[in-house]
Amino acid sequence: MRSTEPGFGGQAFEIGAERVVAYSPRERRETQADVFAQEFLLPADLLRQRLVRDRQTPSQISGEVGLPLPFVTMQAIRALLLPPLPAPDAAEEPPPAIPLDPDQRAAAEWDERPLILDAGPGTGKTRTLVGRIEYLLGIGVQPWEILALTFSNKAAAEMRERVERLDAAAAAQMWIGTFHAFGLEILRLYAAQAGLRADFDVLDEAQGLGLLEDILPDLKLRHFQNLWDPTLELRPILRAISRAKDEMVGPAAYLAAAEAALAAAETQEAVEAAEKAVEVGGVYTAYQESLDARGAVDFGDLVGKATRVLADHAGARATVRDRHRWILVDEYQDVNAAGTALLDQIAVDGRRVWAVADPRQSIYRFRGAAPANAAGFASRYPDGQSRSLTTNYRSGEAVVKLFEHYGRDIAAAPKPPVEWHPHRGKVGYVDHLQADDLRSEANAVRDQIERFKAEGIPYDRQAILARTHLCLARFGRLLQEFDVPILYLGDLFERPEIRDLLSVVSLGADADAAGLIRVAQLPEYGATRADALVAIREADTSRKGILEVCARAEAIEGFTDEGRAGLIRLAGQLTGVNRGTTAWRMLVGYLFEDSGYLQSFVDDQSVRSQQCLVAIYQLLKFAREHADATGGRGGRRAFLERIRRIERLDDDRAFRVVPPEADGIPAVRMMTVHAAKGLEFEGVHLPQVATRYVPGKRQSVRCPAPPGMEHLAIGPTDHDAEEECLFFVALSRARNVLSITSAKRYTAKATCNPSKFLKGLGPRLPKPRPAPTVAPGTRPIEVVAVVPVDAHDGRDLLIWTKCPARYRYEVLNDLGDRSAAGAYLAFHRCVRATIDWISAQQAADEAVDPAAARQRLTKVWAERGPVDHGFEPVYRAAAETMVENAVSLLDDGGRAVDRQWHAATAGGTIGVRADRVVERPDGSIVAQVYRTGRKSKSEAQKAIWELLGEALRQAHPDRTVRLQAVYPATPEAVDIDADQGGAGLAAYADAIAGIEAGRFPPTPSGDCPTCRFYFVCTAEDSF
């Protein structure tokens, strides 16, 4: 063992430059060697006995065995959270060598002419690629002359593993990695020529967004300004920039094309699209200037910048060409324009370029993959040739002929179509079922899983593949209910056990202490929600920390006896935790030294509990990596904010992957089709193969590309082609048996037909068997006792319509709104207060000019504005524009009247308030609502307008009433028709009915990570 400093094994959660450079086999072996050395010093089975049977803690064991506490703690993490370690690689027999077939040998022994090899699923492309390397070495090519490129760190590591088995010494001298890693290598070697420092930084997407946030006040956004969350629109812009870099389109060219489109635009739609493109081009320019000023690059720069270095510097180009004379490219169908340009700089006319591709598996168009490159390879280069592998070694005949029949007619299929010979012959089968509803379909999948197991396919050799994580979560929840052992983490940070621990982490880090609501009710503490609320209110009143309040619970009235004892116990367990304590240190101490949280999972030997332990392992791993990367700066608050950002940006893919350390769990694997690419399973289940789910719906284009650059966005044709390819990948993962299922109905409101893709399977797909219908499930619903009220506040009811659980926290529990959007609310209140003042001054015949409006805003802003917020300049600039515009916008000669009204509705009495109500000289009433955001096409459908109109009609039955949405940013006042056919009032009535019935379930949405109660709540589809 090289060090006693403990560490996690396996692949790190990739951030920054780690996403570019593969975790090499040598590093994996060294890490594994460390793990086994640690195992030798302190065997996990003996450690587990001491931890579980003897109830000892790592600190006690450390003192007894004389090993460092961090060492013992790391071993404890593995012993309790992971399955037993497998035998070392050294003890494994290497797989038997399989000779190349004639097609493979012909490709492996190809000459210098450019070759693209059409390698369908299971045809042995990696074997052929390694055979190519073996052949080159055999004819005297030096190892360092071989450059092998692929598209993922995982694929690169696997390729290197295979080559090491062939010749370890040669593998160490070859360059094997991703296009991005090779681009990084070139930039490191020629940093000066690239205009970079020798120690330049590589920014990942999160860091790129951080850079954009730093310059946000200078970006002057209009179409992409979102004052509710100024960062929300930055991600689609950054992805549009990344796509431009994939195609080697620089900021100047992008902006010029956008400005030309704006000059030529004739329709309002064309003008708006061009204005958005100009805005993106402006951000692109500022972003690149900021990158250059920092001497940094982002992922999108790595290949394109390296290409330009070689194109502009003959010496560098000659050196690279001389060293890397033989080029092998895996997954060529995923090459984008920048990758193709890089290859052209390394190889003259494609000489000695040998590529493997399967256009039918092109599923990365969203990142610039261009399968047309594969189709045009042979004609792109002089003497370019194409060949095919025609034997499938993976699947039985039934599966092979199914995906062969489907794949021949999809848009990406090579012409003429290839017929694959199934080497394994007539083994396996394809099954097809249709159920009545989701629950019945999940039950059918359960039956199929058990059938496959009875036929000799164990759980861990079966996989459920789906188009989306939402589908997996819903099926996973039902399969767990049906006692099917599954291995799927889902959204790690929304799992119940992870939410428990994040709530623990938040104690003493989040000033509002909302996490105590969840932690207090853990079985170990026995407190109630009411107990937690007493403590939170005491902390707010006394201005003391929540842990301090819990520690002196004996002196505070209002707790239950069990709750008081539990909160004191909790405070004792967290003694020594302060604001600077990292999440890593807090969690390790809480889980392994102080609390009994892990006990129930450890005592339960079920797969479900093992899965929970693996999820906790992943959380600890991330907490450790975050602490190491930040040096503990920011404490737990920074850790929690990092998680919120990950979730807000939907950037949690790495955390959904089950770590290889958990491979030993005997459970059915669940994953998306994207994640399954390159994998194979004895049995595969494809659920929800129905309309609206397969193919998936095309996402709207947030950042329209300028005319002439439409290829930067995924158009309808590309989307349809990629969905076809995704289904091809799904069909071709099974070795023996494939089960396809769908349901006639997934919601109460709409029926579903089988996916149109099933028609493409023709006679190879059996007719669907009807699946048994099962009774609807009954899940316990918490009912909360609610004290009736005479009237409801319309603003509170709107909270219920968005999320009943949030209504319970904010209104019933009186915890108020202190969400992550607090800066926006402060901005909004300042604008509204200033506009109110303008309106009052004008009503009193006092002259108000823009300078006076700004002066009033300055006074209000100092009292209640977001003065310490990072985006204050953005909010302040927007506020000044709005109050200046309001001076003329509100000068309408009206007399201000009461703006608080009540409406008697079928659901009950509801209070509603307009921002401004004036009586015009003609006697009409105009009620205005200020909108500080962008003008919305759906504004007139918002329920408040029908409620406000009804309240005013009841108050002034003989008056003409007008409703207006006022946009001071534009500025304009838009008349709104209050008649929604009763839909608006019905929404309020439903809210009142739900409140009076005591129903407060969470409603998951993309806004959840900004909610103050995010770590307290658990959505229905989490498991």
Render pLDDT for 321-359 as a digit per residue (tens, 0 to 9): 999 999 999 999 988 889 999 999 999 999 999 999 999
Sequence-separated (6 or more) residues with CB below 8 Å from residue 802: 1003, 1005
The DSSP code for 947 is H
* Max CA pair span of the chain: 98
Average pLDDT of 804-821? 79
pLDDT, residue 202, reads: 93
Both structure tokens of 154: 């995982």
CB 225 within 8 A of CB 319: no
Render pLDDT for 855-874 as a digit per residue (tens, 0 to 9): 999 999 999 999 888 889 99
674 CB-contact burial (10 Å; exposed 0-12 / middle 13-18 / buried 19+): middle
920 pLDDT higher than 90 = no
Instruction: Give the integer Cα–Cα distance in Å for 518 and 815.
Output: 14
pLDDT, residue 124, reads: 94
Q: Which of 57-71, 550-564, 863-877, 880-894 has the lowest mean pLDDT?
A: 880-894
1015 pLDDT higher than 80 = yes
Beta bridge partners of 356: 117
Average pLDDT of 671-681? 93
Both structure tokens of 411: 């848009």
Q: Which of 16-20, 76-80, 799-803, 970-974 has the lowest mean pLDDT?
A: 16-20
Average pLDDT of 552-569? 95
Name the 3-class secondary structure at 900: strand
Shortest CA distance to 116 belongs to which of 405, 380, 361? Answer: 380
Render pLDDT for 289-330 as a digit per residue (tens, 0 to 9): 999 999 999 999 999 999 999 999 999 999 999 999 999 999
pLDDT, residue 19, reads: 53
The C-alpha angle with vertex 678 and arms to 674 and 683, in degrees rounded to 5, equals 90
pLDDT, residue 103, reads: 96
The confidence band for 556, taking pLDDT boundaries of 50, 70 and 90, is very high
The confidence band for 30, taking pLDDT boundaries of 50, 70 and 90, is low
Side-chain half-sphere exposure of 469, counting CA atoms within 13 A: 18
Binding residues: 119-126
Instruction: Give the integer Cα–Cα distance in Å for 172 and 185.
Output: 16
E strands, 780-826, where?
Answer: 791-793
The more confidently predicted of residues 129 and 417 is 129
Percent of the chain with pLDDT over 70: 93
C-alpha distance from residue 334 to each of 348, 357, 415, 722, 731 (Å): 21, 8, 18, 12, 20
CB 186 within 8 A of CB 320: yes
CB 441 within 8 A of CB 688: yes
Instruction: Give the integer Cα–Cα distance in Å for 477 and 469.
Output: 12
* DSSP code string of 431-461: EEEEESSHHHHHHHHHHHHHHHHHTT--GGG
pLDDT, residue 25, reads: 45
C-alpha distance from residue 792 to each of 789, 951, 979 (Å): 7, 13, 22
CB atoms within 10 A of CB 558: 14
818 pLDDT higher than 50 = no
Q: Which of 252-266, 777-791, 945-959 has the lowest mean pLDDT?
A: 777-791
Name the 3-class secondary structure at 108: helix
83 CB-contact burial (10 Å; exposed 0-12 / middle 13-18 / buried 19+): middle
Q: From the DSSP assignment, how many helices (H) and strands (E) are in the chain?
A: 40, 25
The C-alpha angle with vertex 669 and arms to 360 and 661, in degrees rounded to 5, equals 110
- The amino acid at 455: E
CB 147 within 8 A of CB 346: yes
Both structure tokens of 124: 């042995």
The C-alpha angle with vertex 660 and arms to 655 and 664, in degrees rounded to 5, equals 125
Render pLDDT for 172-209 as a digit per residue (tens, 0 to 9): 999 999 999 999 999 999 999 999 999 999 998 878 98
Binding residues for ATP: 119-126
Sequence-separated (6 or more) residues with CB below 8 Å from residue 965: 928, 929, 931, 935, 939, 973, 974, 976
Instruction: Give the integer Cα–Cα distance in Å for 575 and 568.
Output: 11
pLDDT, residue 398, reads: 96
The more confidently predicted of residues 748 and 744 is 744
Scan for tokens 């889980």, then name that residue: 591
Which H or E run contains 466?
strand 462-466
pLDDT, residue 4, reads: 47
Which H or E run contains 297?
strand 297-298
The more confidently predicted of residues 313 and 14 is 313
The confidence band for 820, taking pLDDT boundaries of 50, 70 and 90, is very low
908 CB-contact burial (10 Å; exposed 0-12 / middle 13-18 / buried 19+): buried
Residues written for the chain: 1023
pLDDT, residue 1010, reads: 83
90 pLDDT higher than 50 = no
The pair phi, psi for residue 649, each rounded to 5°, is -90, 5
Helix axes 69-81, 58-65, angle to 10 degrees: 120
pLDDT, residue 3, reads: 42
CB 82 within 8 A of CB 617: yes
87 pLDDT higher than 70 = no
Instruction: Give the integer Cα–Cα distance in Å for 696 and 672.
Output: 13
Instruction: Give the integer Cα–Cα distance in Å for 615 and 35.
Output: 20
Name the 3-class secondary structure at 148: strand
Scan for tokens 């709107």, then name that residue: 798
Instruction: Give the integer Cα–Cα distance in Å for 953 and 299.
Output: 59
Instruction: Give the integer Cα–Cα distance in Å for 100 and 589.
Output: 55
pLDDT, residue 22, reads: 47
User: What mean pLDDT, rounded, does the chain reach?
Assistant: 89
Instruction: Give the integer Cα–Cα distance in Å for 119 and 128.
Output: 9
- What sign does the CA torsion over 339, 344, 349, 355 have? negative
The DSSP code for 843 is H
Render pLDDT for 233-249 as a digit per residue (tens, 0 to 9): 898 999 999 999 999 99
Average pLDDT of 6-29? 54
Side-chain half-sphere exposure of 870, counting CA atoms within 13 A: 12
The DSSP code for 245 is H
